Structure 1
Amino acid sequence: MEFSYQLYSARNEASLDDTLKTLKSLGYSQVEGWGGQFGDPAALVQSLKNAGLTMPTAHMGYSQLEDTDAVLKIVDAVGIQTVYCPAPPSEEFRNGGGDWQDFAEGLARMAAAFKAAGKGFGYHNHHWEFGKVNGKTPIEIILDASPDLQWEMDLAWVVKANEDPVAWMDRLGSRITAIHVKDIAPAGEALDEDGWADVGQGTLDWKKLLADAKAKTRATYFVAEHDKPSDAIRFARRSMDALKGYGA
């Protein structure tokens, strides 16, 4: 199993080039980009090449994705295979409001354009997508909007929503094409890091969860992520050490 690294976790590092080379040295073969990194696709391609890494997946925000033609040019230039929208487009959705059906239909239109271009497209969850809206969860509303919409399961956020991620794998595993590998610190710990932990340092049984994901989903990308690490390289190193220890 190859592991990727969500570069948003290293957004505060001084040098992208140095970060990429360090990630390669730690055993990562891939990285997942995020919207703020695509201002100069040619330079990004060169940085990836210099480090010996690929970027098969990326996060791009909904407003950026609305110019689908421009995004697909970036995707082609960088060699990205699948783009995931990382969140709803406004705070309204995150506070219990927002028109999830309209949002889902917008994502479905984007998915159609990506499919026509030979690329994959999907959605990445937080915890907002698991409160019922007229009897359905937003994640169900989104995936029901088009069979072409994929799901990048941020498993720790599913747990934060008080949901069982394995039960969701059983229900919708055929739609899950990527997993965010993230850990949750014990209660009251790592408060300066918003309660997140390096993989293997937290409360989630990632050895079992990786086995479940391989057995129950279509996931081909396993992306280490920490939303607010105090040391992005420490997170990368500890997480890869743990993942190697699991025999993954």
Structure 2
Amino acid sequence: MGAMVMTRRDLIRGAAALSAWGTEIFAAEKESRLSVEGYIFQQYAARQKKSLGEVLAEVIPMARVAGFRNVELNQGFFTPELRAKTLDLLHANGLRMPSVYVGGVMHEAAAAAKTTELALEIAELCKPFGCAGVVNNPSPKPKAEEKTDAELILQGQLLNLLGGALATKGSELRIHNHTPEMVNGAREFRSTLRNTGPKKVKVCLDIDWVRQGDQDPYALLLEAGSRVTEIHVRNAKDKLWLETFGAGDVDYSRVAAQMRRNRQVPLIVVELAWRDNTAMTRGLQENLTLGRVYAEKVFGVKA
């Protein structure tokens, strides 16, 4: 996902809109550890051959109708064209946003500076919605090329800087993974654990992507330990993503039990995603609802 730069005027407009709602919109509500990822809304738009803006008013309410009170969106929802509409819809539907996803390059200094600037801007924009975590998946190199040892060391240093900068604003940096971080025995993932400070850089472990990358999610949960403050959950059968979150390749009952043993109490984010050949038998609204019900059952939490 490409970097998005907000102008000072954009930020002032966003702040003005938020000021009418108060500094902490849903502070009185009891917080839930269960959330839903907005990436599926972008896939839904693509399948409808529409832009995200064209479906935004349709999909944001789906999260609340499905029983979620929390949602995690990414920078695609906060372009200058969509930002005000996104914030209005979150407010109108009573949705909190305990975390936000901001991707970008982190292994090159100049590009990482842009990623850092964007992450700080969006974190501040989302703070009135209870946002305390910024999820970042450092962008991979082109053509599936592994990062060099020097690039990984630099990436660790730059992640420490980003984590420190976010901490001064009251936010926490959480590093996410896809399959590139799992290559070669989870080389990049483990490098991040070694080369970053546990107080500055936390972990958002995407359980399914660990499995897709032929690594052991149970082992990495244990290895990351108390740094795991968020997990993303979806499931697959023979690595083919399911239309909703349910039983499949990953035994999430085992994940839940292991987290209890590890004393890990992360934010749990249901992230649906579909392949072109995912068998579809229901609409998105029903799949979101079923995913929420399964997550509540397996993790013993309430949305």
TM-score (norm 2): 0.70
1:117 Cα deviation (Å)? Answer: 1.9
Separation of aligned partners in 1, 2:285 and 2:136: 25
2:191 to 132, 141, 161: 141
- Listed one character per residue, the Cα deviations across residues 76-96 of structure 1 (whole Å, up to 9, x for unaligned) are 22222111112424325x333
8 Å CA contact 1:58–1:83 kept in 2: the answer is: yes
**Aligned-pair distance for 1:65?**
6.1
Range that drifts further, 151-160 or 73-82 = 73-82
- Relative to structure 1, is the Cα distance of residues 200 and 70 closer, same or farther in structure 2, using a 3 angstrom cutoff? closer
Is 1:82 matched up with 2:150? no
Q: How does 1:57-206 map to 2 (within 5 A)?
A: 57-63=99-105, 66-67=113-114, 68-79=116-127, 80-92=131-143, 94-98=144-148, 99-132=151-184, 137-147=187-197, 148-186=200-238, 195-197=240-242, 198-206=244-252
Is there any run of 5+ residues in structure 1 with no aligned partner, and where?
A: 188-194
Larger mean CA deviation between 13-22 and 114-123 belongs to 13-22
Give secondary structure in 2 for the equivalent of 1:143. Answer: helix
2:28 alignment partner in structure 1: none
Conserved in 2, the CA contact under 8 Å of 1:8 and 1:227? yes
Q: By how many angstroms is 1:234 displaced?
A: 4.0
Find the counterpart in structure 1 of residue 289 from structure 2: 237
Unpaired runs of 5+ residues, structure 2, are 1-31, 46-53, 106-110
What is the deviation of 1:32? 0.8
Quote the sequence identity (%): 21
Conservation of the 8 A alpha-carbon contact between 1:87 and 1:126: no
Equivalent residue of 2:89, what SS? helix
Give the CA deviation at 1:101. 2.2
Q: What's the Cα RMSD here?
A: 2.5
Partner residue in 1 for 2:256: 210
Aligned partner of 1:190 in structure 2 is: none
Equivalent in the alignment of 1:44: 86
* 1:4 maps to 2:35: yes
Q: What amino acid is the match of 1:196? A: W
Higher strand share: 1
Aligned mates of 1:236, 1:87 — CA distance in 2: 27
Query: Could you say which residue in structure 2 is the equivalent of 1:192?
Result: none
Cα distance in 2 for partners of 1:46, 1:211 equals 38
In structure 2, what residue type is equivalent to 1:140? R
Task: Indicate conservation of the 8 Å contact 2:69/2:96, yes or no.
Answer: yes
Q: Quote the offset at 1:218 in angstroms.
A: 3.6
Q: Which residue of 1 aligns with 2:10?
A: none
Give the partner amino acid of 1:52: G
SS of residue paired to 1:107: helix
Alignment-mate amino acid for residue 253 of structure 2: K
SS in 2 for 1:109: helix
- Contact (CA 8 Å) 1:17, 1:51: kept in 2 or not? no
2:35/2:70 contact within 8 Å kept: yes
**How has the CA–CA distance of structure 1 residues 103 and 234 changed in structure 2, closer, same or farther, with 3 Å as cutoff?**
farther
Q: Distance in 1 between matches of 2:112 and 2:40?
A: 21
Cα 1:215–1:17 shift into 2, 3 Å? farther
- Measure the CA separation in 1 of the matches of 2:291 and 2:297: 10
- Number of positions where the alignment pairs a residue of Structure 1 with one of Structure 2: 238
Greater shift, 15-24 or 115-124, is seen at 15-24
Distance between the aligned counterparts of 1:218 and 1:37, measured in 2? 30
Cα distance change on mapping 1:55 and 1:130 into 2, 3 Å: same
Who is 2:71 aligned against? 31
Asked if 2 retains the 8 angstrom alpha-carbon contact of 1:184 and 1:203, the reply is: yes
User: Separation in 1 of the partners of 2:284 and 2:256?
Assistant: 22
Other structure's SS at 1:15 match: helix
Using the size of structure 1 for normalisation, the TM-score is 0.84
